[in-house]
Amino acid sequence: MYVIHPASCKGYIPEDLSPNHIIGELKIDGARNVLYLGCDPYGTHDNGLYSKRESVVSGKMVDNTATARHITGLTYKGLKNTVLDVEAFSVDLGTTTAILNSSFRKAKAKQEEVGFLTLNVIDIVYYKGKDVRSWPLWRRKELQEEVIKKMNNTNVVAIPYWSRSLVKRFQSIAADGGEGLVIKNLNSAYGMDWAKMKKSYDISVIISGYREGKNSNYGTVGALEVSVWYKDQLVPIGHVNAGTQRQRNDFNKNRKWYIGKALDVWTHEVTEPSDGFPLGKLRKPSFFRLRDDLGKKECSYKRLQYALKQAKYIRDEY
């Protein structure tokens, strides 16, 4: 058995989501790991749990086995040399990361406080030593169900998925505060034709400043500082990329002219208020378009709050 790197690919969301072979899995904002049952690529454990990340010190995948003893410390008969691609999750991403990055004692204490980590099975890579990555997804899902049933551990579960009304399903998940869906093709091999269908918001903001570029953008505009009107003041809510290289050059040449201009950006969400960002901060914003039709005062906090209730979906690599 060798080290398995969880699949990632630049997939696409097909225009037509109605065919039965197109499914949408619930997107969970956890930590990607690989679970080795009855095997370990480094020969350290009977069952091993390893992060997708590699340690900068050892060059090996980060070992999370000890933080999930309620799963890795048990014996699973008949499943030797089975490997699962999983998403570890606790209360939220922050709590999940804190648990996985803690010592065994701290991880155990935290889980006793908030609940034990759950491993959500994304896919199956090996089954009893047989490489099944080339099998179609529908067959691998049958194996997943069999493995989860045999494990008989309430903290190892299958990720929910749906095959109909995926746009409505996405809108419902987004309205409830969820991340979105991962679109997959039931006829495809492991890691093929996967794409995120994730929530995003169209936010209108004001260009209020610039951040200088680094590396290849040194000496020019690196990012745009953006703000919204709140109680007759412009309040910063983050920085966004300056668009294409042509747009970046234009911003750089005409910095003063662009200050105060309206801009639309896509963002995943607006975080909670913090030092320097009293209204919260845009999370992973991206340049969308300039807005000549909007006045300064229209780019307000009130308008932003309204936009956050209108989740749309964008397509992204998984």
User: Residue 78 — pLDDT band, cuts 50, 70, 90?
Assistant: very high
Give the residue-averaged pLDDT of 164-174. 85
Q: Tens digits of per-residue pLDDT, 60-76?
A: 888 999 999 999 999 99
Residue ranges of the chain assigned to CATH 3.30.470.30: 22-193
What is the rounded distance in angstroms from the CA atom of residue 119 to the CA atom of residue 182?
17
**Domain 22-193 fold:** D-amino Acid Aminotransferase; Chain A, domain 1 (3.30.470)
Q: Is 82 left (phi over 0), alpha (psi -120 to 50) or beta?
A: beta
Burial track 69-102 (b if 16+ CB lie within 10 A, e otherwise)? bbbbeeebeebeebbbbbbbbbeeeebbebbbeb
Q: What is the pTM of this model?
A: 0.72
pLDDT of 232 above 90: no
Average pLDDT of the segment spanning 279-300: 85
68: DSSP letter: G
pLDDT tens digits for range 307-316: 877 666 555 5
Residues 200, 311: contact at Cβ < 8 Å?
Answer: yes
Q: Looking at the chain, which residues constitute the CATH 2.40.50.140 domain(s)?
A: 199-317
Residue 304 in tokens: 């932003």
Report the SS3 class of residue 33.
strand
Determine contact, residues 218/187, Cβ cutoff 8 Å: no
CATH number given to 199-317: 2.40.50.140
